[in-house]
Structure 1
Amino acid sequence: MAKLKNKLSVILDVVPQGSNIIYVDYPVYNNGGDVLIMKGTEAFFKDNGIHVRARYSAMDIPDQLHIPGDWIIVCHGGGNFGDLYLNHQNLRERIVRDFPNHRIVIMPQTIHFQSEQKANEVAALFNAHPDLHMFVRDTRSYQWAKDKLNQCHITLCPDMAHQLWPLKPTTVTVKDVLYFLRTDIETVGGQKKFDDEADAAHRLDWDTLFTPLEVKGIVYFQKFYRLNKRIGGPLPTRTFWYKYTDHLMNKAVTLFSSYREVRTSRLHGHILACLLDMPHVVIDNSYGKNSQYYNTWTQPNPKARLFNDAPDALEQLS
């Protein structure tokens, strides 16, 4: 895991130490994986003396934005580059269109398009930008980007959450197996074996890890972000949101720490288990994101196993 953290230093080739940047599209929602990426990204900035002059989420970025010419625009990484999560994709495309003379850096992403037409439209836009640098998290995304985004600078790089290595367990291990399984559009059929196996008390996802009150708090933060944009930005919404995400991440770390093993179809369930150095099984998502990441970066970890979707595969895990 230390080697993966060290591999993130390749980003310094395009965002050098001491750079002035703005950080765009950090998450304000209840996906703990994106929050974990955000925490790793902010740690990377701090550890390398990178000066974040402004931060914007998709909810509060101004319609008219002035950025000094020598500042670098850094877009949040994750798994939303493509046409599944258009709110974030549209924001990136807007940044590329509106700032043709700035360096734009997209932090490590997984790429997935369902529509070839949309993929070609994005490629045409990005290839027209003279200083666009994109980091990708797996070899399949890398090959796609090298083919389609052939005028951009493409680099293979691990997920930003690895900057948090090592994470220390925050509680004693008292339970057996945690099933941390997707419940959204990326769920794959092979996960059903684990859905059937899991006891309801030990089956969670990001939206069930957080209590209804905590989720309500996130909804209120979103409302304050939108209000803050309407009134011109005087409210300290980001400061309080970042403190709140400290609580959310501590809760996730405590949950994982309390189990002997994790079985997960969440990429950041896998990465969090790696950061905590705990045994776990990786189950793929609907388009191969998890297996691609495992095969690219984490396969050497002796405490991580990739689930083989075969009739006797569950017996192999016992």
Structure 2
Amino acid sequence: MSDGAALTDFVERIRDRLMNDLRPVFAGVPEWDLVDFPHHFNCGDHVIWLGCLKIAEEFGIRVCSTTSSHTYRADKLKATGPIVINGGGNLGGLYPHHDDLRLRILTDFRNRPIVQMPQSIELTNADALGKLKRAVALHGDFTLLVRDHRSLVIARREFDCRTELVPDAAFALGNLERRPPREEVVLHARQDDEAAGEQISGHPTVDWNKAGILSLRNLGRSAVSVADKLSSPVLTSAVANRFAQQNLDCAIRTLSRGRFLVTDRLHGHVIATLCGIEHIVVNDRYGKVQALWEAWTKNAPMATFVPTWITAETALAERISRRYVF
């Protein structure tokens, strides 16, 4: 089997695992409200969002409304099924506004099932953890999905609720098509608090967290801000989902720029895998990249995991010396 065929098969197997794991969670569900829309430029969160939409589509579930952590209103959430919270790496205190949104939903909707899509858990705030534990226990119908074994251990230790280990929701998108490369090597490096140490130099370096003032992505975010103020949930969802697609397009364009990619973003790794981009994935400061790698992608064709940017430099030199062409 060629590397390309092996990768296609690998991605489809993870996607099938995700769908099979989620089928009993959403059995008999006709519709849901999808919350915590990523009203920012982190493409990874948008890919998760689009994965959630693909899951709903595959299961024949109607998405009745969408809302972000900034525009949440309880009166917008009227589906007859569960409230579904977008996945990511924001549970446990690292990003307080996401935990605050979970608390509000758990408090406002004691009479409805709530499903947290796959998360990485990083406990950084004991007070926030205590509040969330109490809210989950009082609610009684909260399902916490996690995307790595470390988070599963934490979830089962800390929360009195149903917990399941499933792949990241972005895998629902299946195989994606990359763009033609324009450089030999591109570094995709975090510039935030999750970055792990000094990065290597000598190659073009990109990230996806910023957009020009007149770019389509910036205009798309502005459109979401306007739509969120309107009463129509259909309009809000359509505008939000278009913005999410713009961010997926940006991610594919960014990661495809190099024939070889080095990334320290979890979804840099996931999207590169979906696109068949040969890459090296570097662990992040908190270890969530390694945790996902060990749970799901350690056998991914075209991917190599390294613990630090220093070791990435050696691995990159070895890759280039082989001169693979895809």
Please tell me the TM-score bracket, short chain as reference: 0.7 to 0.9
Aligned to 1:175: 183
Letter in 2 for 1:142: L
Shift in Å, 1:188: 1.5
| 2:94 counterpart SS class | coil
- Alpha-carbon distance between aligned partners in 1 of 2:71 and 2:258, rounded to the nearest angstrom: 38
- Alpha-carbon distance between aligned partners in 2 of 1:279 and 1:66, rounded to the nearest angstrom: 42
Is the counterpart of residue 185 in structure 1 residue 193 in structure 2?
A: yes
Shift in Å, 1:317: 3.2
| 2:285 counterpart SS class | coil
1:64 to 1:227, Cα distance in 2 relative to 1, 3 A: closer
Aligned to 1:120: 130
Aligned-pair identity (%): 28
| 1:145 counterpart SS class | helix
Shift in Å, 1:234: 7.6
Contact 1:263 1:283 in 2 (8 A): yes
| 2:222 counterpart SS class | helix
Aligned to 1:205: 207
Tell me the TM-score normalised to structure 2 length: 0.86
Aligned to 2:27: 16
- Alpha-carbon distance between aligned partners in 2 of 1:295 and 1:248, rounded to the nearest angstrom: 27
Is the counterpart of residue 34 in structure 1 residue 42 in structure 2?
A: no
- Alpha-carbon distance between aligned partners in 2 of 1:31 and 1:67, rounded to the nearest angstrom: 28
Of 134, 147, 166, the match for 2:144: 134
Contact 1:17 1:48 in 2 (8 A): no
Q: Which runs of 5+ in 2 are unaligned?
A: 1-10, 318-326
Of 163, 176, 181, the match for 2:172: 163
Q: Which runs of 5+ in 1 are unaligned?
A: none
- The within-5 A match list for 1:69-148 is 70-148=80-158
Letter in 1 for 2:185: V
- Alpha-carbon distance between aligned partners in 1 of 2:229 and 2:53, rounded to the nearest angstrom: 25
Aligned to 2:300: 301
Shift in Å, 1:23: 0.9
1:65 to 1:220, Cα distance in 2 relative to 1, 3 A: closer
Letter in 2 for 1:227: K
Contact 2:265 2:289 in 1 (8 A): yes
1:312 to 1:33, Cα distance in 2 relative to 1, 3 A: closer
Shift in Å, 1:84: 1.7
- Alpha-carbon distance between aligned partners in 2 of 1:235 and 1:49, rounded to the nearest angstrom: 17
- Alpha-carbon distance between aligned partners in 2 of 1:111 and 1:312, rounded to the nearest angstrom: 26
| 1:163 counterpart SS class | helix
Contact 2:14 2:296 in 1 (8 A): yes
Shift in Å, 1:27: 1.5
- Alpha-carbon distance between aligned partners in 2 of 1:66 and 1:39, rounded to the nearest angstrom: 19
- Alpha-carbon distance between aligned partners in 2 of 1:158 and 1:264, rounded to the nearest angstrom: 20
Contact 1:179 1:198 in 2 (8 A): no
- Alpha-carbon distance between aligned partners in 2 of 1:253 and 1:312, rounded to the nearest angstrom: 25
| 2:170 counterpart SS class | helix
Contact 2:280 2:315 in 1 (8 A): no
Shift in Å, 1:311: 5.9
Contact 2:74 2:108 in 1 (8 A): no
1:133 to 1:244, Cα distance in 2 relative to 1, 3 A: closer
Shift in Å, 1:156: 0.4
Contact 2:94 2:125 in 1 (8 A): no
